Structure 1
Amino acid sequence: MSTASRLLITDATIVSVDPGIGVVPVGDIAVEDGVITAVGPGQPREGAIVIDGSAWIVAPGFVDTHRHTWLSAIRHSYGDVDPLRYFKEVLGGAGPRYSPEDVYAATRLGAVSALSSGTTTLMDWAHIQNTPDHADAGLAALTESGIRSIYGHGWPMTTDGAWTSSSELRHPDDIWRLADIIDGQERTSLALAARGPEMAVADVWEHELRLARELGIRTSVHVGAYAPNARARAVEAYAQRGLLSDDMTFVHCSNTSDEEIAMLAEAGATVSLGVHCELNSQGIGDVPLDRLLAHGVRPSLSGDNETKCAGDMFTQMRSLFAYYRSWVGGRHSSIADPHPLTLQDMLEFATIEGARAVGLQDSIGSITPGKQADLICLRHDDLNIAPVTDPVAAIVLGAHEGNIDTVFVAGEQLKSGGRMIRADSAETVRLALEAQQRLYPEWDLRP
């Protein structure tokens, strides 16, 4: 279904994540040219394409602020193993073997499956820039899927330096070409997926950050992920050079010190938690939600790396809520009076806080007039969540991808009746399987 000039979803339970609107038990959402124009009961139907939402909970689409979609074709392959083996076999072994076709297939699978599970905006952390063709392939897959995307331009998995700007693998200057390609696209924007002080020498990480600022784009960087690297104190390194600012998102922060969390909070920087992967990755450290909240930092959430975890946002919300309740309830927290956590907080982390972390809080993240119509519609009469007494609790505690009937991005219907519309799901899986067989022929399970 193409974007209608005027669309009306009627009689739905609306979870707006807008503090001025709240939860509307029975109401309508009016959309014109992909933008929400009104929320509430009794909207006029004349001239609109009317969709009956009486069986739905409608919520803003989830915003994933850190997903390595190029790894989606080798999903769930390293959940049982030591992270050091993953680094060696995937980043050091498979990464250099990826062709542009493999990047396309994996990114397409990651984006389409994200949409199917309610993620309407995805920050694709693409550290697979082996050649310019690799970048083009990833961008093409994102654009064709229909998802709202932020292409996080990373670094090559190759180490020969053949097309990079220096033998130290400085950030490829090809990002300028990508900026020109992306400029003016309605659903695709650009960010820098940087190596940072824990992964590169100062000349390299300073160059990358200054490059992002020349382009006027946000920077996302992994920090404090593993205890040995915590000594690098990445946030402090940025602060000491006067580079710490509100255009930065720090991923993980598991071993980031309290002092550094205070620094990034004061700077207005954001944090992305890849909760399921952080809990599944031996040695990564504790999820620092209690320490973040103590400094007023409300994180966003991410599906991170599907080789080691589930990528959907339902899993991230549920995992984080349970972890936090256990962590605080078991008196493991170093915070004297930990911040109380609600299910509403969890939904906000997955929506409006994600929008803030990618710089789109004025356009997405809540069902608010004037924002883009990025919406997910869940059947509230499904056995696993019915009868619904609290729609926020139903989403966070009980819902999953199978409950999502319909997904809109900018008013365009990309999933309907539980089936993807723009993307051919079978073709998407076929391409991903072929990529997996090229990369890991020993994994072929066919008789």
Structure 2
Amino acid sequence: MKTLIKGGLVATLAGPQGDGRPLDILLDGARIVAVEHDISAESAMTIDAGSMLVMPGFVDTHRHTWQTMLRGLANDWSLGQYAKGAHATFKHLYTPSDIYIGNLLGRIEALCSGITTMLDWSHGITSPAHADAAAQGLIDAPGRSVFGYSANFGFPNNDPIDEDLRRLRTSLFTSDDGLVTLALGLRGPQYTSMEVTENDVRLARDLDLPVTMHGGSAGWGKNRPVARMYERGLLDRRTTVVHCNTIADDEIAMMGDCGCTASISPYVEIQMGFGWPATGRLLSAGIRPSLSIDTCTAVCGDMFRTMNTALIAQRGLDNDTAQSAPDQLGLRLRCRDVVEFATIEGARACGLDHKIGTIEPGKEADFIFLRMDDPTVFPVNNPLGMVAVSGHPGLVDSVMVAGHFVKRGGEMVGIDLPRLRALGLKSRDEILARAREQPGADPSLALDGRWQPSPEGYTAAAVTGRNAHD
């Protein structure tokens, strides 16, 4: 069936003229067949996009979705407290049904705010049943997802994953053409030995899977994780390095040499003390990063504030440098840049840039429709500036994935939200009850912001020390 989208402004992001012009879009099923002025297609179903900006859907390249039921718990926590609280306290108390509902609700949340593609960095897996449940939560949500399998994430963790990852590849993820595909969320080299890291990367290559890895999170990135992988030939174009805050400049150059992509999570990085976002350092090395949320235990889950944080943090750093070099005054990072980070660069990091990320013939229709008549942004004079600086989830009127609406007129399509909310609250309450029943549980344990876990044993220095021999 053909669909014609008419009457809106379109930000194709496919070239310098694609920043928000009146254009029509013709679809044949999931596929874009034309992007032109005044398309006529009498047999097509017509969608009126008046007062809308139509643009590619956002791509979140790194989110720990299983933690959805712990939302807001870490709003006032450091990175070490997060490791102790979310991982050491709660993770091993999750049942498969808990991780399922967390992934399903978290994926729906992301869709609702315009994130059409999301890489779920799934480090809450403690058994094959948990892995299946986490994957099924993504499959049951109507979005495009990458399941970043990372079993039994710990400090450190050397357990073999070969059998479970091969099982997933030959059961749920036999094809790379579906809406949900498989990747390896690498445990190392920050959190496990180099020998385990090398075995895991070789396994991913054998199974033809992309690899996404944490590298450069505060002190956890100061033992040269990227350099150690580079020396063993473990980096390539299918490797995404997440964060990059504290890796050295020569390690960023190594990433560039190998064609690696990067994912920065500026909001959580600033809040939890990872170090300043590496946006400018990556750009100086020729790497255009993608953007990610990381965890909704600590920060908001929408791409608008993530773009805004990336933009203003780098502008602050650049302007601070310019104070001592007045001849360099000027903003090198533009609004269009961060919108590209949130769309086409995210698609590239997920290996999906041949399918999504821009609006042009031959690609699939993953679109968001943003209201331009909303009082918070009206009148919209600079569409991509609006998206990067003033945009917010309330503008997301409709969301389309592979040519089908998953949100229309402000409402999610075909999803029983009251039922899912009830399941989510039940899961949250049961997880908290189990945590309080553990031997030696902190009597102040609560989810309302009062609880401040001790980071003892989970500081960056402690973990770096354990792996220093590598």
Specify if TM > 0.5. Answer: yes
Q: Tell me how far apart the structure 1 counterparts of residues 59 and 160 of structure 2 sit (CA, whole Å).
A: 29
Q: Kindly state the Cα deviation for residue 183 of structure 1 after the two structures are TM-superposed.
A: 2.0
Q: Tell me how far apart the structure 1 counterparts of residues 324 and 333 of structure 2 sit (CA, whole Å).
A: 16
Equivalent residue, structure 2, for 1:298: 288
- Write out per-residue CA displacement over residues 293-349 of structure 1, whole angstroms, 9 at most, x where no aligned residue: 111110000011111111211011001111111111122899996981100001000
| Runs of 4+ that moved beyond 3 A | 332-339, 441-445
Equivalent residue, structure 2, for 1:344: 336
Q: How does 1:33-52 map to 2 (within 5 A)?
A: 33-52=29-48
Q: How does 1:139-178 map to 2 (within 5 A)?
A: 139-157=135-153, 168-178=158-168
Does 1:389 find its partner at 2:385? no
Gaps of 5+ in 1: 162-166
Whether the 8 Å contact between 1:250 and 1:269 is mirrored in structure 2 is yes
Three-state SS of the structure 2 residue aligned to 1:127 is strand
Q: Tell me how far apart the structure 1 counterparts of residues 198 and 447 of structure 2 sit (CA, whole Å).
A: 43
Does 1:425 find its partner at 2:417? yes
Whether the 8 Å contact between 1:148 and 1:188 is mirrored in structure 2 is yes
Whether the 8 Å contact between 1:24 and 1:40 is mirrored in structure 2 is no
Whether the 8 Å contact between 1:96 and 1:157 is mirrored in structure 2 is no
Q: Kindly state the Cα deviation for residue 89 of structure 1 after the two structures are TM-superposed.
A: 2.0
Q: Which residue type is aligned with residue 197 of structure 1? A: P
Q: Tell me how far apart the structure 2 counterparts of residues 317 and 49 of structure 1 sit (CA, whole Å).
A: 34
Which of 236, 241, 251 does residue 242 from structure 2 map onto? 251
Cα root mean square deviation, aligned: 2.1
Q: Kindly state the Cα deviation for residue 80 of structure 1 after the two structures are TM-superposed.
A: 0.6
Which of 301, 308, 324 does residue 314 from structure 2 map onto? 324
Identity of aligned residues (%): 35
Q: Tell me how far apart the structure 2 counterparts of residues 151 and 66 of structure 1 sit (CA, whole Å).
A: 10
Q: Tell me how far apart the structure 2 counterparts of residues 243 and 151 of structure 1 sit (CA, whole Å).
A: 21
Which of 12, 27, 32 does residue 31 from structure 1 map onto? 27
Q: Kindly state the Cα deviation for residue 84 of structure 1 after the two structures are TM-superposed.
A: 1.7
Three-state SS of the structure 1 residue aligned to 2:353 is coil
Whether the 8 Å contact between 1:95 and 1:158 is mirrored in structure 2 is no
Q: Decide whether aligned partners of structure 1 residues 339 and 246 sit closer, same or farther in structure 2, where only a CA change above 3 A counts.
A: farther
Q: Tell me how far apart the structure 2 counterparts of residues 376 and 213 of structure 1 sit (CA, whole Å).
A: 34
What TM-score do the two structures reach when normalised by structure 2? 0.88
Equivalent residue, structure 2, for 1:164: none
Q: Decide whether aligned partners of structure 1 residues 172 and 73 sit closer, same or farther in structure 2, where only a CA change above 3 A counts.
A: farther
Equivalent residue, structure 2, for 1:380: 372
What TM-score do the two structures reach when normalised by structure 1? 0.93
Q: How does 1:22-421 map to 2 (within 5 A)?
A: 22-157=18-153, 168-180=158-170, 181-184=172-175, 186-227=178-219, 229-282=220-273, 284-331=274-321, 340-421=332-413
Q: Decide whether aligned partners of structure 1 residues 172 and 61 sit closer, same or farther in structure 2, where only a CA change above 3 A counts.
A: same
Q: Tell me how far apart the structure 1 counterparts of residues 84 and 342 of structure 2 sit (CA, whole Å).
A: 31
Q: Kindly state the Cα deviation for residue 197 of structure 1 after the two structures are TM-superposed.
A: 1.6
Q: Tell me how far apart the structure 2 counterparts of residues 380 and 208 of structure 1 sit (CA, whole Å).
A: 47
Three-state SS of the structure 1 residue aligned to 2:189 is coil
Whether the 8 Å contact between 1:146 and 1:422 is mirrored in structure 2 is no
Q: Tell me how far apart the structure 1 counterparts of residues 296 and 222 of structure 2 sit (CA, whole Å).
A: 27
Matched pairs, number? 433
- Write out per-residue CA displacement over residues 419-442 of structure 1, whole angstroms, 9 at most, x where no aligned residue: 101322222322222211111146
Q: Which residue type is aligned with residue 253 of structure 1? A: C
Q: Decide whether aligned partners of structure 1 residues 372 and 427 sit closer, same or farther in structure 2, where only a CA change above 3 A counts.
A: same
Three-state SS of the structure 2 residue aligned to 1:128 is strand
Whether the 8 Å contact between 1:302 and 1:311 is mirrored in structure 2 is no
- Write out per-residue CA displacement over residues 121-151 of structure 1, whole angstroms, 9 at most, x where no aligned residue: 0100001221111111111111111110110
Q: Kindly state the Cα deviation for residue 289 of structure 1 after the two structures are TM-superposed.
A: 1.2
Q: Which residue type is aligned with residue 118 of structure 2? A: L
Three-state SS of the structure 1 residue aligned to 2:308 is helix
- Write out per-residue CA displacement over residues 178-225 of structure 1, whole angstroms, 9 at most, x where no aligned residue: 112122352011100001221111211001101110011110000110
Q: Tell me how far apart the structure 2 counterparts of residues 325 and 24 of structure 1 sit (CA, whole Å).
A: 24
Q: Kindly state the Cα deviation for residue 93 of structure 1 after the two structures are TM-superposed.
A: 1.5
Gaps of 5+ in 2: 434-444, 449-470
Q: Which residue type is aligned with residue 386 of structure 2? A: A
- Write out per-residue CA displacement over residues 381-404 of structure 1, whole angstroms, 9 at most, x where no aligned residue: 000111010111111111111111
Equivalent residue, structure 1, for 2:462: none
Q: Decide whether aligned partners of structure 1 residues 156 and 432 sit closer, same or farther in structure 2, where only a CA change above 3 A counts.
A: same
Q: Tell me how far apart the structure 1 counterparts of residues 180 and 324 of structure 2 sit (CA, whole Å).
A: 40
Q: Which residue type is aligned with residue 335 of structure 2? A: L
- Write out per-residue CA displacement over residues 28-57 of structure 1, whole angstroms, 9 at most, x where no aligned residue: 111111111111221123111111001210
Q: Tell me how far apart the structure 2 counterparts of residues 249 and 269 of structure 1 sit (CA, whole Å).
A: 6
